[in-house]
Amino acid sequence: MKIVIIGASAAGISAAKTIKTSEPDTEVVIISKEDSVHSRCMLHKFLGHERDAKGISFIADNFFESSGITWLNNTTVIGLDAQKKTVKTHDNQDISYDKLLIATGASYFIPPIPGLRESKNVYGFRDLKDAQLLDNECNTAQNAVVIGAGLVGMDAAVAMLERGLKVTVIEMTQAVMSLQLDQKSAQAYQQLFEEHGAEFILNDKVVSVDVDEVGRGKTIHLASGKAVPADVIVIAAGVRPAFNFTEGSGIDTNHAILVGDDLKTNIDDIYAAGDVTGIAGIWPNAMKQGRIAAINMLGEKLLYEDRYALKNTVNFYGLTTLSLGNINPEPEENCEILMREDRYNYQKVVLKKGVVQGVIIQGNIGGTGFWQYLIKNKIDVSGINKDVFSLSYADFYDQDQNTGEYRYAV
């Protein structure tokens, strides 16, 4: 059997590994438009000159050779023929498959703001290529502007601060990382970034960019009337699943590629995994989906049930935060909000009828892995006779007698 995987990142590589471990005789071809395999989550380490390109790889040097996988890098897929079971590449190859995995992730977009798209010094922060181009700019630029204070924007900001640039972050909402944090935990990061020289303009919007005679965006105008000078601009205003090449193939999509719990699309033999499915935009889930899709492509039936996506960890300047679930409930949701604070820690638990809806743990996040289980599985903790902040896995302790593995007693 020949399995073709489009995408050589979290989902694609984890699928390939799984296939080669379970059924080594399967022919595996990975196609990717990039020339290297790297972890996007470490791009800021590259841009900040903490690591080189090799240092942000997440696979062994000889991964493809040693696992017997064919890798077509620098190759962009531009079409898909589900009848003939082939994919077309930019250099006009038709590559046939028995089973296909689409693991093409997501790509950023530049909002249609006058002057912004036209500016030559506007970059996304998604691929190593983006980081390399930005790296070049950082050698000469003084003023950097980051549009969007989500996790990606903050990653870009931290790296450019590291490089000694003056960094201004512009954000539409009233706080940084507003998807992951509440006001208080966000404030702690904002302060840390400010101490390192960043400036934040919150509750404001870019309305236009002045482009100079050589096509570079120079001044960013905001809705408030403020004008911010820029030598380099990073756009971090969100990403979209990347699947242009499926047009006309008959694959069902909305804003993402639609898959069932087996991660198969509406077309037999075509599966999708990772950011391209729109289920979750984080690395662990992309890896897991890749793995499950691979197992299913090999003929088994394993379901991906982890559609729960609201989870993240944040670590900037040594301040760590775990954020899970619904952390900013609306008043009409009638949630109970418990908070605890000391000099080094801020903790918040959102409860509804005894079931944990969300948590923020800022400071010491050691041993907090059990919270995700409680939230995902909607475990009622009201029967446990203790303070919710002192819960741990010990309250659900159970073991499999044969294997010695832990289980949850709930």
Partner 1 sequence: MKRIIIDREKCDGCLNCNIACISAHEEGSNFYTVNMQSPEAETRNFIKFDAQKGYLPIFCRHCDEPECVLSCMSGALEKDPLTGHVQYDESKCAACYMCVMNCPYGVLKPDKQTRTKVIKCDFCEDKPDGPSCVKACPKKAIEVKEVSL
Ligand X SMILES: Cc1cc2nc3c(=O)[nH]c(=O)nc-3n(C[C@H](O)[C@H](O)[C@H](O)COP(=O)(O)OP(=O)(O)OC[C@H]3O[C@@H](n4cnc5c(N)ncnc54)[C@H](O)[C@@H]3O)c2cc1C
372 binds, among ligand X, partner 1, none (CB under 5 to 8 A by kind): partner 1
Q: List the one residue from 85, 126, 221, 291 that touches ligand X (CB under 6 A).
A: 126
Quick check: 87 binds ligand X (CB under 6 A)? Answer: no
The nearest distance, CB 288 to ligand X, in angstroms, is 11
Rounded CA-CA distance 180/32 in Å is 30
The nearest distance, CB 247 to ligand X, in angstroms, is 12
Residues 254-283 that bind ligand X (CB under 6 A): 274-276, 281-283
Cβ burial 6-23 (10 Å sphere, 16+ → b, else e): bbbbbbbbbbbbbbbeee
215 contacts 118 by C-beta, under 8 angstroms: yes
Q: Round to the nearest angstrom and report the end-to-end CA distance of the chain.
A: 42
The nearest distance, CB 202 to ligand X, in angstroms, is 21
365 binds, among ligand X, partner 1, none (CB under 5 to 8 A by kind): partner 1
12 binds, among partner 1, ligand X, none (CB under 5 to 8 A by kind): ligand X
Q: Which two tokens stand for residue 341?
A: 């604070």
Residues 336-375 that bind partner 1 (CB under 8 A): 364-370, 372-373
Size of the site for ligand X (CB under 6 A): 35
The nearest distance, CB 173 to partner 1, in angstroms, is 23
33 binds, among partner 1, ligand X, none (CB under 5 to 8 A by kind): ligand X
229 contacts 143 by C-beta, under 8 angstroms: yes
The nearest distance, CB 333 to ligand X, in angstroms, is 26
11 binds, among ligand X, partner 1, none (CB under 5 to 8 A by kind): ligand X
Quick check: 43 binds ligand X (CB under 6 A)? Answer: yes
29 binds, among partner 1, ligand X, none (CB under 5 to 8 A by kind): none
Residues 271-330 that bind partner 1 (CB under 8 A): 282-284, 287-288, 291, 311-313, 315, 318-320, 322, 324
Residues that bind partner 1 (CB under 8 A): 10, 14, 21, 39, 41-42, 45, 56-60, 282-284, 287-288, 291, 311-313, 315, 318-320, 322, 324, 364-370, 372-373, 392-395, 397, 399, 402-406, 408
Residues that bind ligand X (CB under 6 A): 6-12, 31-34, 40-41, 43, 76-77, 103-106, 125-126, 151-152, 155, 242, 245, 274-276, 281-284, 286
